[in-house]
Chains A and B, each alone.
Chain A
Amino acid sequence: MEEARAAFLAVDGDASYISGGQSLVPALAMRLQAPAVLVDLSGIADLRGVELQGETLRIGALTRHADALTHPLIARHAPLLNAAAPFVAHPAIRNRGTLGGSVSLADPASEFPAMMLAMGAQMEIFGEDGFRRVPADDYFIDLYQTALEPGDILTALYVPSVGPHHRWAFDELARRRGDYAMVGAGILAHMDGALVESARIALFSVGSTPVRAPGAEAALAGRLLDAKTIADAQRALDDDLDPPDDEHIPAAMRRHLARVLLGRLLQRLGETP
């Protein structure tokens, strides 16, 4: 990691780390970026591996999207990643793309970064002062802007393991399977029977970063998950969002879709035993 950082910082001009290359290489091909040097992270063993450390799952930054789909520890302890993975791109891309790459890039339309918010994960970063951890809530700053400083390496994702009282739901609305969604969301709720003790809701494709929905979360906390509660949460969601207004998907449509999706996910949450 030291060596990679040194190589990165030594470059006169633009340098870029490369992990799976599934976002970077298309950007290079389209000449949207033209770094003078690419520093390949894929040989760094410490960035690999998935392991349970007490109540926390450590997911190495180089863990592939495909592992999110198949790794038993991820399925067991970070089920939202597992639920999101089938929606991320296509098998060929999932075989190369890394979770660390996705979270470093922080595309606001991406599934995994938003799930970091929903799961309350922490990003481990290797930088000037060695390692530091940044909670997801502080990590996403603006469009493609994160707590990563130039030269920083995202090394691992630390995800709190789900317990017996957790329920979760994930879905997205996309025009084609594997596309970036028009709207997507993941929910991780701590429940006592039908009572929602607390919930974390994160949405993607609704703003310049992945977005948490504090209003909707508050509307759920301490309430029975019934039709009224769901309707209240849907209503509260409106204030949580400030979606972009583009010609093809107007802001009002994204709000509508987000409401519909939240309703469906909460419905599903209530149905899972």
Chain B
Amino acid sequence: MNAPVHGSTAFDRPAHVGRGMSRPNAKRLLAGKGNYVTDLALPRMLHAAFVRSPHAHARIGAIDVEAARAAPGVRLVATGEDIAKLCTPWTGTLDHFKGMKSAPQLPLPVDKVVWSGQAVVAVVADSRAEAEDAAELVMIDYEELPVLADLDTALAPDAPKVTEDFADNLCFRSALDSGGVDAVFASAAHVVEADFLFGRHTGVPLEPRAIIADYDASEHRLTVHHATQTPFQFQDLYSRHYGIPEARVRVVAPDVGGSFGVKLHVYNEDMAVVGLSILCRRPVKFVADRLEAFVSDIHARDHRVHARAAVAADGTLLAMDVEDETGIGAFSTYPRTSVVEGNQVIRLIGAPYRLEGYRAGLKVVFQNKVQTSQYRAVGHPIACAVTEHLVDEAARVTGLDPLEIRAKNVIPDTAYPCASLSGYKFEKLSHEACLTKLRALMDYERLRTEQAELRARGILRGIGIATFVEITNPTPAFYGIGGARISAQDGAVLAVTPSGEVRCQISVTEQGQGTETIVGQVIADHLGVPRDIIRVMTGDTAVTPHGGATWACRGAGIGGETALQAARKLKTNVLSLAAGILQAKPADLDLVNAEVVDRDGTVRMSLAEVARIAYFRSDTLPDGAEAQLTVAHHFAPKGYPFAFTNGIHGCHVEVDAETGLVKILKHFVVEDCGRIINPLLVEEQVRGGVVQGLGAAFFEECLYDQGGQLTNGSLADYLVPMSCEMPDILIDHVETPTLDTELGAKGCGEAGTAAASAAALNAVNDALGPLGARLTQVPMTPARILKALGRF
């Protein structure tokens, strides 16, 4: 971990990269000094509340807003028509998903509602309470339409359509076929198969969505304070949909209280709030309360998969054949669509393994529900659970141990570079090394012995293993080629200040994951200064260059590399200026610990002195000396379209077969995210991710009734994992840096979520196997476990 960063100069002594340094912003947040949009109050600010549809599908009739307009404190009541005059519609399709369709959307609907909870009318008042009171007075006539609340209803040949002009309810179809799959299945010794169900769930960040739009008519200027992952994307969207020149739109994302993918999509309310501010000529604030979050934040998952695998008599995996059907909302989400998850499911299934044949089909289906889209580990948990359950089944029918069958079938660490049959190109993965480490980390043999002993006493313990591949560091191959104005590059402006401190303004953003910390660590090493004189600024389109910010897994890999190269550039400038001042050659100098030193380490002058001269005494500089102590640098990943990472999870559970309750005893992860910049942050990313994965495995599910009503949309009924139920999570690492960048970092933010639910599913099945029960649905609720056991 402390090995020098490759490509570094002889002078570099990496002191920060690889060290578990604490986050400079952690104390501030802990002290309650966080500056969230929710906390922000602007002068003359108004508050918006929304009247939401009680129906999942209905035509909007007459809207009576008179009583609401007359209510105390109300400044504006706006309908879909009012805002449609200001904002152009959007459509959530991308060109590289051939044949996909989705209807255009407006901030507030003008003709019909397509999910229960959809915002229909906005009320703006002096306080949120007054806005909510008035919202109750708005009367809307609805003519109810047939509701598509599940896949089968939506896929039926005579199904009513979510969008009348469409021939069917299919948003997108896709298929992959390596060829020869039927022949492999026909001659295989074993075929294992299963039908899987993956519940819909949602992100539940601690801070819900929050936005303040502040339109200044005098300058035709818009400032939006927005709890978002992607300020530049929103700058672009507000500019284009409201016709305000880009340079006059500023999006500020101050502290953001978690996002997990929830906060990078266009939401109707958020777009509406911009229009409300334009109409009111005053700042307008909207913070989704938790009940609103459940019916308007994106949901994710909701897949039904039929999958089978062909297996040789000796346990060699031969081929897989899968059909994935996924129910999205009535629209595909803008601008990232709702088909990426399904697309990743069918491309990631089987990815850790050598296969001879692979075939997959995907159907992305409209329904009258909240839109689904990208949430942490997009598609990965589904692909992983399908694959790993089939691998366990293959182990069972061939009598192999679960670790053994994986060791036998993973792509060997020596086989790289190579590609999956679904088309993913792998630079270098480390499945074998991870597997070996996991065996030791879990003390696997001891757990198996203990399991057998306890089983004899009627205690059901299970051990589950899941190998995964994770997509990180996406290039424009992800969205750019599809026509989306979503940047895959990032930019930084790095400067030495007059006092010799360092300021970095970088386009990657901070959601609590520690981006600013690692950027500082990278700069500290590659510029040659202590971490604590570096101030990293993020999250404001008026402050930093344009960049992708936070999505997929890219902060460390792309943001880190941007910072590295910017630091390099600035260092060259500092040393060339110092060389001018000192009448030395730049190549004979280095910057170490904020001091310019000789080759032998003798201090020649401080960085502060270089800065003082540059800023205040340029008259003393020799001719030709350039005092360029501010540099800008952009970096876009090149080479492999994605930097794939990998790892393996182990889950240890005890199942109470009488109550259906599962105690998660311990969870283990070995992951390989390339160069580890900060092990503390990597491990906390993995732990947080595991908890979300275990949430999917045991607790989290958005439940709908046949009328399309969400029946558990509160934190009392939608169960998020809590600390009492969460096990200790042990983590170990393998480090395989990518050679596509100098830093060598890949992503780790989704590694925990990708495989935790699969490992848990396998663990529960391992425990229940002797009782003849088998689960292929998550979450594994007590009801489902007891049902599988035939207990009621």
Point out the residues of chain B lying under 8 angstroms from A193, CB to CB.
Answer: none
Point out the residues of chain B lying under 8 angstroms from A129, CB to CB.
Answer: none
Q: In the complex the two chains form, is A255's CB within 8 Å of B661's CB?
A: no
Name which of A2-10, A116-124, A174-182, A194-202 contacts chain B.
Answer: A174-182
Complex Cα spacing A248 to B786, Å: 12
Chain B: how many interface residues by the 8 Å CB criterion?
A: 26
Point out the residues of chain A lying under 8 angstroms from B291, CB to CB.
Answer: 30
Within 8 A of B (CB), among A175-211: 175-180, 182
Q: Which residue of B lies closest to A259 (CB)?
A: B658
Q: In the complex the two chains form, is B783's CB within 8 Å of A248's CB?
A: yes
Q: In the complex the two chains form, is B699's CB within 8 Å of A175's CB?
A: yes
Within 8 A of A (CB), among B764-792: 781-783, 786, 791-792
> Provided the pairs A30-B291, A31-B132, A250-B792 are in contact, do residues A173 and B722 lie with their beta carbons within 8 angstroms?
no
Q: Check if A143 is an interface residue, CB within 8 A of chain B.
A: no
Point out the residues of chain A lying under 8 angstroms from B722, CB to CB.
Answer: 176-178
Complex Cα spacing A31 to B722, Å: 26
Within 8 A of A (CB), among B688-727: 698-699, 703, 705, 711-712, 714, 716, 719, 721-722, 724-725
Complex Cα spacing A29 to B716, Å: 14
Complex Cα spacing A175 to B661, Å: 7
Contact with A along B723-748 (1 / 0, CB 8 A): 01100000000000000000000000
Contact with B along A47-91 (1 / 0, CB 8 A): 000000000000000000000000000000000000000000000
Distance in Å: Cβ of B193 to nearest Cβ of chain A: 28
Q: In the complex the two chains form, is A256's CB within 8 Å of B724's CB?
A: no
Point out the residues of chain B lying under 8 angstroms from A30, CB to CB.
Answer: 291, 714
Point out the residues of chain A lying under 8 angstroms from B711, CB to CB.
Answer: 247
Which of A29, A177, A180, A252 touches B725 (beta carbons < 8 Å)? A177
Complex Cα spacing A253 to B724, Å: 24
Point out the residues of chain A lying under 8 angstroms from B719, CB to CB.
Answer: 175-176, 179
Q: Which residue of A lies closest to B289 (CB)?
A: A29
Chain A: how many interface residues by the 8 Å CB criterion?
A: 21
Q: Check if A227 is an interface residue, CB within 8 A of chain B.
A: no
Point out the residues of chain B lying under 8 angstroms from A180, CB to CB.
Answer: 716
Q: In the complex the two chains form, is A176's CB within 8 Å of B724's CB?
A: yes
Q: Check if A257 is an interface residue, CB within 8 A of chain B.
A: yes
Point out the residues of chain B lying under 8 angstroms from A141, CB to CB.
Answer: none
Q: Check if A11 is an interface residue, CB within 8 A of chain B.
A: no
Which of A176, A253, A256 touches B699 (beta carbons < 8 Å)? A176
Point out the residues of chain B lying under 8 angstroms from A260, CB to CB.
Answer: 658-659
Q: Which residue of A lies closest to B724 (CB)?
A: A177
Complex Cα spacing A252 to B661, Å: 16
Point out the residues of chain A lying under 8 angstroms from B289, CB to CB.
Answer: 29
Point out the residues of chain A lying under 8 angstroms from B724, CB to CB.
Answer: 176-178
Which of B136, B659, B712, B719 is the most central at the interface, judged by chain A CB atoms within 10 Å of its CB? B659
Q: Check if A44 is an interface residue, CB within 8 A of chain B.
A: no
Q: Check if A25 is an interface residue, CB within 8 A of chain B.
A: no
Complex Cα spacing A253 to B783, Å: 7
Point out the residues of chain B lying under 8 angstroms from A249, CB to CB.
Answer: 783
Q: Which residue of B lies closest to A261 (CB)?
A: B659
Q: In the complex the two chains form, is A247's CB within 8 Å of B703's CB?
A: yes
Q: In the complex the two chains form, is B792's CB within 8 Å of A256's CB?
A: yes
Complex Cα spacing A253 to B781, Å: 12
Distance in Å: Cβ of B703 to nearest Cβ of chain A: 7
> Provided the pairs A177-B722, A177-B724, A248-B781 are in contact, do residues A256 and B703 lie with their beta carbons within 8 angstroms?
no
Distance in Å: Cβ of B24 to nearest Cβ of chain A: 29
Q: In the complex the two chains form, is B783's CB within 8 Å of A252's CB?
A: no
Q: In the complex the two chains form, is B792's CB within 8 Å of A175's CB?
A: no
Which of B658, B712, B714, B782 touches A175 (beta carbons < 8 Å)? B782
Distance in Å: Cβ of A214 to nearest Cβ of chain B: 23
A-B contact pairs, 17 of them (CB 8 A): A29-B289, A31-B136, A173-B659, A173-B782, A177-B722, A177-B724, A178-B722, A247-B703, A247-B711, A248-B712, A252-B792, A253-B782, A255-B792, A256-B791, A257-B659, A257-B782, A260-B659
Interface residues of B (CB under 8 A from A): 132, 136, 289, 291, 658-659, 661, 698-699, 703, 705, 711-712, 714, 716, 719, 721-722, 724-725, 781-783, 786, 791-792
Interface residues of A (CB under 8 A from B): 29-31, 173, 175-180, 182, 247-250, 252-253, 255-257, 260
Known: A178-B724, A250-B783, A253-B782. 8 other contacts (CB 8 A): A175-B719, A175-B782, A177-B725, A248-B703, A248-B783, A250-B792, A252-B792, A255-B792
